[in-house]
Structure 1
């Protein structure tokens, strides 16, 4: 009988000779096609696990079981569903060390950041469990005194959740918590690089009391599993975090079926620093916002714009901070930057930096792979600062998704806004200034779904995380994110006035 993840993955997931099952409608099983993915530790290039992958037939089975299970789950009072999510949060906290170890092993995330991600996963469960009982319907008066209209919020049915590799545990919780607490079933498709985290949280969800059939986790190729999910006639809502390319494909398939989607896609966040800002605080935030998860975050600082009068000083402060960062074993408490998630991701960073240098950019620090000792294996890249960057360079136009930071000088507010908005993306923007009026003006002028003033990221759970342009549509978090998992029903009622 296939074993759940905790039976075959230790703290650092080191049993590559055992095939880890997928979760199909609440039961651990092998994929019906017999295919297996090898999961690699990006710090060492070692195979740390083998995971059974799903196919079209598995998707069909998972969705069919989800339809059956959801009908009963929807009848459970909101407080009962919330209790299950609260138990899941408690179990995540109980297993925090094991879950953090999985993130270290399958993603190369530094252990300090891995623990923070585990905390975020528990936090999503607690947050949505906490607010669901405050979310009611509405009673509206009608034209007759003996009539009312009741606006109900009801579950959609079966949700498809598609998550990326960069925050595989937190984003699994970000999708499954609001889906389950609103009375839906959910089929999760984790990224090919990092399926272990989603499987681990699914195991805890079963222990917490999620009924059989209500939750499936189906690793496999996105072109196969993702497409099969979106095209399945029983899927009522698709929530996806990932690339623009994948988002376009999902949107196209969803349009054929006329179902709602929420797409959180790429980002190219500008980080704008005026001369009147607290430069130490701004430099610290600029680096932290760039280097979180080794730059592999959609809200990361991808472009730093600095007012010309303080450009040299601020560039030197950032360079000093980058050069002092500890790169190394992600399991070491002292490590601040680990490897890239895969060789393909590393090569993409090298391509973008190379194109920038060819176009005249100057490497202030970094710009190469470290070498020697443990760095001779794995997908490592030094934290990099680029100056003298042309605006048409790929490093200013493409999402780098790595530890590379271009810094550009600007003259005045108008130019800063024009540079910041010169992108197809529109997820996050950062602004450092002590001028309140300027901050308010720019918060209106910047074309992005989030603006952070005098603070770094990331976003918080009670906000709304959504992008403009090619950064997507819909969004996550807060009451507005929760609303996407429900649909409205108007009930008109008349009664006798006598």
Structure 2
């Protein structure tokens, strides 16, 4: 077992107008969730700090050069940033691992995926184009152009600090927008580091600004301000609803990726070895702190008992450890409050009649006693109407519910208010396509899970939000469509002669 040596405490202030703002005397202290050690401090921003950052981004868009750069030049800047991210890949991974608690191996994967997102967004930027309509008549030509939408506010959660920012920021920048980023209060390090790298890559001052601190303080102005044209938010459904209300006065465009309660549907004709690995990965990846986590196992009656027994056995082999332990496969919960919330969900499931097959408690002892660790947990006999089935737990907790046939599986898969993602395990392509089409989720995986590529858009249905990130659709979220119609010859349309002049 190899453990990376811990780094010194990092100290971050805001990044506004192309410069690092010295940390203030009032800071948020990030206590590592694995061992209680302080790993970083962040300026506890004020409302005035956020207002200042918005004003800088507004000026950079209205008066600055970035929206007026050629698409090729913006793409080249994003590629330069991707190269700098690759240069600093290990440092960025370590920052995210220490602040979020996720295993360093997962953090490295997040950084690698973030680099790919920058590279893909650069390609989209370089090929940004509109349409020409030349068959509207002899004397008419029209263009449909895509223009940068303006200032974009971005509110990022704590579970994937860099990756979820990379699903938004390079696409907005590639389109020519400017940005104000509000990272999660306790995982702000890589957002500030990325802003510095973008400046090093040649992105003009004021285009990317980062304000750290509490969402209720520095996030609120992003929703309320009429100087912000778009707000892109990833987080809980309840917070998303409050943002919708707060933004109503400014009539800004919103893109919201909210909560999820994804189902992993395993049919009796699946490759069960493959499905076993997929179900385990789907729920325990990133400690279950993942909005597309496959937290609900729906398994066909005929195979359920044997399949669940194998799941329980395999879950016991998962290595739980600290973020800098190279052998760690599952880390701690983000903080003590979230730990208690997850344990509360497990206790409530017991009261509702579920059986805890494995886990179900906080991990204690020499390796885990100072951290917020929950044992990988499997709950059997979970009814569709129970809270454990319906509510997002956001931890390493798998619920098990049995189904009889395809129709029953579809009803159960759609039986929550969420619609972010789902997985289907079967060798029957007709069955897979039917369930995929009827599953009310923005992403559906067949014989895989928590998978994707920069080219593929992601987003939710129902209470899981609206708007899309990544792919061409994610790029287009940050553009406005304008129609320009030009008369190129003698007028053929007859207007009323209200002026009394000669024709």
- Give TM-score, length-normalised by structure 2: 0.94
**Offset at residue 25 of structure 1 (A):** 2.0
Q: CA deviation at 1:12?
A: 4.4
- Alignment of 1:61 with 2:77, yes or no, is no
Give ranges in structure 1 of 5+ residues lacking alignment: 1-9
Contact residue 189 and residue 225 of structure 1 kept, 8 A: yes
Question: Which one of the candidate residues 8, 12, 24 is aligned to 1:14?
Answer: 8
Which whole-Å deviations, capped at 9, do the CAs of 1:286-325 have from their partners, x for residues lacking one? 0111111110111110100100010011101211221000
The offset of 1:281, in angstroms, is 0.1
Cα distance in structure 1, aligned partners of 2:257 and 2:397: 22
Question: 1:460 Cα shift?
Answer: 2.3
Q: Deviations over 1:474-495 (max 9, x none)?
A: 1201001110100011111112
Q: Counterpart of 1:375 in 2: which secondary structure?
A: coil
Alignment of structure 1 residues 242-261 onto 2, 5 Å:
242-261=235-254
- Residues matched between the structures, number: 486
| Equivalent of 1:124 in 117, 121, 141 | 117
User: Which residue is equivalent to 1:5?
Assistant: none
Question: Is the CA contact (8 Å cut-off) linking 2:152 and 2:229 kept in structure 1?
Answer: yes
Give unpaired runs (5+ residues) of structure 2: 492-503
Q: CA deviation at 1:374?
A: 2.8
**In structure 2, which of residues 20, 26, 47 is the aligned counterpart of residue 28 of structure 1?**
20
Pairwise CA distance, 1:68: 2.0
Q: Write the deviation string for residues 8-60 of structure 1: whole angstroms up to 9, x where unpaired.
A: xx9845226xx42111222111477x531111110011222221122121122
Are residues 348 and 482 of structure 1, via their aligned partners in 2, closer, same or farther at CA, if it must alter by over 3 Å? Answer: same
Q: Give deviations 1:200-243, integer Å, cap 9, x for gaps.
A: 21121111111111111111111121211121121111111111
Matches within 5 A, 1:333-348: 333-348=326-341
Deviations 1:235-284 (A, max 9, x none): 11111111111111111122222111000001000100000000000010
Describe the superposition over 1:419-448 as per-residue Cα deviations: whole angstroms up to 9, x where unpaired.
Answer: 111100001011011111111111121111
Q: Report what 1:417 is aligned to.
A: 410
1:233 counterpart (223, 226, 238): 226
Hey, what does 1:82 align to over in structure 2?
Answer: 75
Residue of structure 2 in register with 1:4 after alignment: none
Cα–Cα, structure 1 residues 384 and 63, in superposed 2: closer, same or farther, change >3 Å?
same
| Cross-structure match for 1:40 | 31
Counterpart secondary structure, 1:240: strand
Q: Paired residue for 1:452?
A: 445
Distance 1:232 1:256 in 2: 9
Give the secondary structure class of the aligned counterpart of 2:418: coil
Q: Distance in 1 between matches of 2:139 and 2:297?
A: 61
Point out the more displaced range, 259-268 or 133-142: 133-142
Whole-angstrom CA distance in 2 between matches of 1:118 and 1:485: 23
DSSP-derived class of the 1:224 partner: helix
Q: Is the 8 A contact 2:301 2:403 kept in 1?
A: yes
Offset at 1:497? 6.6
Q: CA deviation at 1:190?
A: 0.3
Higher-Rg member (1/2): 2
- 1:342-491 matched pairs, under 5 angstroms: 342-491=335-484
Deviates more, 1:95-104 or 1:62-71: 62-71
User: What's the C-alpha RMSD, in Å, of the aligned pairs?
Assistant: 1.6
Work out whether residues 140 and 148 of structure 1, in 8 Å CA contact, stay in contact via their aligned partners in 2. Answer: yes
Question: Do the aligned partners of 1:294 and 1:338 also contact (CA within 8 Å) in 2?
Answer: yes
Change over 3 Å in CA distance of 1:11–1:462 after alignment to 2: farther
Secondary structure at the aligned position of 1:117 is classed as helix
1:383-435 alpha-carbon deviations (Å, 9 max, x no partner) = 01111122222211110111000111110111111111110000101101111
Q: Which whole-Å CA distance do the structure 1 matches of 2:322 and 2:215 have between them?
A: 30
Give TM-score scaled by structure 1 length. Answer: 0.95
Counterpart Cα distance in 2 of 1:335 and 1:31: 33
* Contact map agreement 2:65 2:204 (CA 8 A) in 1: no
**Helix, strand or coil for the counterpart of 2:229?**
strand
Asked if the contact 1:31/1:55 (under 8 Å) is kept, the reply is no
Quick one: structure 1 residues 390 and 339, their matched pair in 2 at CA, closer, same or farther if it must change by over 3 Å? same
Distance in 1, matches of 2:374 and 2:229, equals 42
Give the direction of change, closer, same or farther, for the CA distance of 1:396–1:213 in structure 2 (3 Å limit): same
Structure 1 residue 164 and structure 2 residue 187: aligned? no
Larger mean Cα displacement after TM superposition, 34-43 or 425-434:
34-43
Distance in structure 2 (CA, Å) of the matches to 1:419 and 1:64: 48
Q: Find the residue that maps to 1:373 and give its secondary structure.
A: coil
Aligned-residue offset at 1:135: 2.6
Deviation per CA, 1:460-479, whole angstroms, max 9, x where unpaired? 21111010011001120100
1:103 maps to what in 2?
96
Report the equivalent of 1:321.
314
SS at match of 1:386: strand
1:91 to 84, 93, 116: 84
Displacement, 1:65?
1.4
Inter-partner Cα distance in structure 2 for 1:234 and 1:62 = 11
